[in-house]
């Protein structure tokens, strides 16, 4: 019953932000949009501080990084290949594009901020512990506020109804089935239950959400794996976008998951071209809505 209540809170905040968009006072929306780009880092600092308190109780913390890296690699490649095969079956040919070293470097710098935020949270935890100062952080309420802002942002996303056609919707479909295929492969050697692997596959790079939800509904160890898995997925999305996105844009956008409409969108525009912005916007939109629902439901089962 508690699991259903937590899922309801997530969906309610997401829908509330979407419904209240353009009805709130402009000053509130302005503050929300100014805060949104930095709020994920605030969440990561809080997550790191909260997880650091339970780090000592976890068995083999280094195993978390290794497991997350394997799952992230398998799901990213799975999404890429599944989308590629879907469009190959439809007879849609690859395209030629271009890449920019400058944008690649900037993208790597941007993703490094997330790791610096995690490090900052861990350092703060050590400082407070050294001073014998107890800090109680509840990341769940921060996540609910973040989901409200995400709903607000989605309402302003410039989606065109003409983009909602089956050729574009095949991109998120490829990500969903490719991610599942990736963890099915991981199940052959990773000592994690298949149900948990399926849950971890549904984050689609939405790291600021998945770690907290899984920790709340399951346990801290799986929550840590979920967080690092989706951080690594974002890194693999950037690499695939620049290595293969210029040639196979739809498959690269599929591998980007939920990040396609925000973090990796500038890379889509530059590496794949303006023709593929609708693919990125629709795929990112669909997966951003699906991720908290799928992760919450699978974690609650």
Per-residue pLDDT tens for 155-169?
A: 887 666 767 788 889
Mean pLDDT, rounded, of the chain: 84
* Confidence tier at 233 by pLDDT (50, 70, 90): very high
Closest C-alpha to 36, from 189, 145, 172? 145
Task: Calculate mean pLDDT across residues 28-37.
Answer: 87
Task: Calculate mean pLDDT across residues 126-137.
Answer: 81
Is the pLDDT at 188 greater than 80? The verdict is yes
CA distances from 240 to 79, 99, 250 (A): 11, 11, 11
Which residues touch 25 (CB under 8 Å, ≥6 apart)?
Answer: none
pLDDT given for residue 2 in this prediction: 54
pLDDT given for residue 96 in this prediction: 56
Q: CA–CA separation, 78 vs 82, rounded Å?
A: 6
Name the more confident of 235 and 3: 235
267 touches 259 (CB < 8 A): no
Q: Is the torsion defined by CA of 221, 215, 149, 48 positive or negative?
A: negative
pLDDT given for residue 98 in this prediction: 58
178 touches 75 (CB < 8 A): yes
Q: Which two tokens stand for residue 46?
A: 């809080």
Q: CA–CA separation, 84 vs 266, rounded Å?
A: 21
Name the more confident of 178 and 277: 178
Task: Calculate mean pLDDT across residues 201-219.
Answer: 88
Burial of 257 (0-12, 13-18, 19+ CB in 10 A): buried
Q: CA–CA separation, 194 vs 250, rounded Å?
A: 28
pLDDT given for residue 56 in this prediction: 59
Q: CA–CA separation, 70 vs 229, rounded Å?
A: 8
Which residues touch 42 (CB under 8 Å, ≥6 apart)?
Answer: 117, 142
Is the pLDDT at 1 greater than 70? The verdict is no
* Confidence tier at 104 by pLDDT (50, 70, 90): low
Task: Calculate mean pLDDT across residues 77-93.
Answer: 87
Residue 33 dihedral angles phi and psi, to the nearest 5°: -70, -30
Task: Calculate mean pLDDT across residues 40-50.
Answer: 82
Q: CA–CA separation, 18 vs 16, rounded Å?
A: 5
Task: Calculate mean pLDDT across residues 131-139.
Answer: 78
Q: CA–CA separation, 174 vs 183, rounded Å?
A: 14
Element (DSSP H or E) covering residue 207: helix 207-217
The rounded percent of the chain whose pLDDT value lies above 90 is: 26
Task: Calculate mean pLDDT across residues 25-52.
Answer: 84
- What is the distance of C-alpha 103 from the center of its chain? 21
pLDDT in tens, 244-278: 887 888 999 999 998 888 777 777 877 777 778 88
């Amino acid at each position: 019953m508690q699991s259903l209540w937590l899922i309801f809170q997530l969906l309610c905040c997401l829908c509330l932000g979407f419904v209240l968009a353009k009805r709130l006072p402009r000053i509130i929306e302005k503050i929300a949009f100014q805060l949104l780009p930095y709020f994920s880092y605030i969440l990561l600092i809080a997550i790191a501080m909260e997880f650091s308190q339970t780090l000592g109780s976890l068995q083999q913390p280094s195993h978390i990084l290794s497991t997350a890296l394997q799952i992230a690699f398998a799901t990213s490649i799975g999404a890429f290949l599944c989308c590629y095969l879907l469009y190959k079956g439809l007879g849609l040919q690859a395209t030629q594009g271009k890449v920019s070293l400058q944008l690649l470097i900037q993208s790597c710098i941007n993703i490094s901020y997330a790791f610096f935020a995690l490090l900052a949270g861990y350092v703060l935890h050590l400082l407070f512990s050294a001073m014998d100062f107890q800090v109680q952080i509840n990341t769940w309420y921060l996540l609910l506020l973040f989901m409200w802002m995400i709903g607000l942002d989605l309402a302003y996303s410039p989606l065109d109804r003409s983009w909602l056609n089956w050729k574009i919707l095949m991109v998120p479909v490829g990500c969903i089935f490719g991610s599942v295929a990736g963890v099915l492969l991981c199940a052959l050697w990773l000592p994690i239950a298949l149900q948990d692997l399926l849950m971890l596959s549904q984050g689609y790079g939405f790291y600021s959400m998945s770690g907290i939800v899984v920790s709340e509904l399951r346990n801290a160890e799986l929550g840590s794996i979920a967080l690092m898995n989706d951080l690594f997925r974002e890194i693999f999305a950037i690499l695939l976008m620049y290595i293969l996105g210029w040639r196979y844009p739809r498959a690269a956008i599929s591998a980007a998951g939920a990040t396609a409409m925000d973090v990796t969108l500038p890379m889509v525009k530059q590496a794949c071209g303006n023709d593929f912005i609708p693919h990125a916007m629709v795929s990112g939109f669909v997966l951003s809505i699906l991720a908290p629902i799928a992760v919450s439901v699978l974690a609650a089962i």
